[in-house]
Amino acid sequence: VRTRPGYAAPVASRCYSHGKVETDEEFNARWVTYFSKPDIDGWELRKGMNTLIGYDLVPEPKVLDSALRACRRLNDLASAIRILEAVKDKAGPHKDIYPYLIQELQPTLAELGISTPEELGIDKS
């Protein structure tokens, strides 16, 4: 889910007022494609996730689904759990976003066998 600003994030990190502005669907499609690369490597996964978390938004479930599947291809369960923690942290004070994401991702989590941080008890310090 993205809390909607008055504009969508530009494709490159330049701010031009008259250039083409990317829509939400294009943004999501671009990121789903990025994580869907069959032979994605660890560096690309990390770079992608760190960049995505740097944006002023909480990623859509389908983008996260793609990222979690990338973790599966890389046999990296720890990163999958970390991604869930990161999006919960990203939602900040909006406490209803994370449960929504988990609800949407439930089929994927069940299919891949990913436990949420809450199930493992690492959401408490």
Partner 1 sequence: MLATRALSLIGKRAISTSVCVRGGHGVAKVEDYTLPAYFDRRETPLPDIAYVQALTPEQKALKEKEKGSWAALSNDEKIALYHLSFKQSFAEMNQGTGEWKSVVGGIMFFIGFTGLIVLWQRKYVYGPVPHTFDPEYKQQELQRMLDMRMNPVEGFSAKWDYENKQWKK
Shortest distance (Å) from residue 115 CB to partner 1: 5
| Token pair listed for 105 | 């991702």
- What three-state secondary structure class fits 20? coil
Q: What is the DSSP string of 40-65?
A: --HHHHHHHHHHHHHSSSPPPHHHHH
Q: Is 64 in the site for partner 1 (CB under 8 A)?
A: no
- On whether the CB atoms of residues 10 and 21 are closer than 8 A, the answer is yes
**Binding-residue pattern over the window 29 to 58 for partner 1, x denoting contact by CB under 8 A:** ------------x---xx--xx--xx----
- Say if residues 59 and 35 touch (Cβ distance below 8 Å): no
Does residue 123 belong to the site contacting partner 1 (CB under 8 A)? yes
Closer CB to partner 1, 22 or 85, in the complex: 85
Q: Which of 81, 97, 101, 105 binds partner 1 (CB under 8 A)?
A: 81
Contact in structure between 51 and 63 (CB atoms under 8 Å): no
Instruction: Determine if 24 is a binding residue for partner 1 (CB under 8 A).
Output: no
Q: Is 68 in the site for partner 1 (CB under 8 A)?
A: no
